[in-house]
């Protein structure tokens, strides 16, 4: 059985991994992380804020879907992730596009797995016993 993961730990993990990817890509590898028209630079503050907001949004959706089957959670996560992957298509370079795609996939995966509603149900069952 899976144990519940606290939302704060999911948020910290998603944010830490996103910042690590940003650090490896931008300062270490020299990727100009820009997207949009006119091009906007994606800095570490943006990475942190987006990862935290995405986690809080995932938490809200999980709460809303709490009485549904886990399939609803995974379907919703998949659709949201696919839509979010449209954003990196506006990157100014292939390296920036790859970095942004990686950021979206990593943060989305951490949120989907970490906030899986089945983990919450296990906790509720344990507490009821």
- Contacts of 26 by beta carbon, 8 Å cutoff, 6+ apart: 33, 99
Q: What is the pLDDT of residue 67?
A: 85
Q: What is the distance between the alpha carbons of residues 39 and 20, in angstroms, rounded to a whole number? A: 23
10 Å CB burial of residue 123 (0-12, 13-18, 19+) is: middle
pLDDT per residue over 2-31, tens digit each? 577 899 999 999 999 999 999 999 999 999
| pLDDT attached to residue 128 | 53
pLDDT tens-place string over residues 107-116: 999 999 999 9
Query: Can you tell me the distance from the alpha carbon of 81 to that of 103, in angstroms, rounded to the nearest whole number?
Result: 11
The confidence score (pLDDT) of residue 1 equals 46
Q: What is the pLDDT of residues 85-120, one digit of tens each?
A: 999 999 999 999 999 999 999 999 999 999 998 876
Q: Count the Cβ atoms, other than its own, within 10 Å of residue 38.
A: 5
**What's the confidence (pLDDT) of residue 119?**
73
Place of tokens 């298509």: 89
């Amino acid at each position: 059985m899976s144990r519940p993961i606290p939302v704060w730990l999911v948020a910290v993990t998603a944010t830490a991994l996103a910042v690590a990817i940003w650090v490896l890509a931008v300062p270490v590898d020299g990727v100009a992380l820009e997207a949009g028209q006119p091009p906007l630079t994606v800095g570490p503050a943006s990475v942190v804020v987006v990862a935290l907001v995405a986690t809080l949004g995932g938490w809200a959706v999980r709460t809303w879907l709490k009485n549904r089957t886990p399939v609803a959670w995974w379907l919703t996560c998949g659709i949201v992730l696919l839509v979010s992957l449209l954003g990196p298509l506006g990157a100014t370079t292939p390296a920036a596009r790859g970095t942004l795609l990686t950021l979206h996939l990593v943060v989305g995966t951490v949120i989907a797995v970490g906030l899986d509603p089945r983990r919450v149900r296990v906790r509720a069952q344990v507490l009821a016993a």
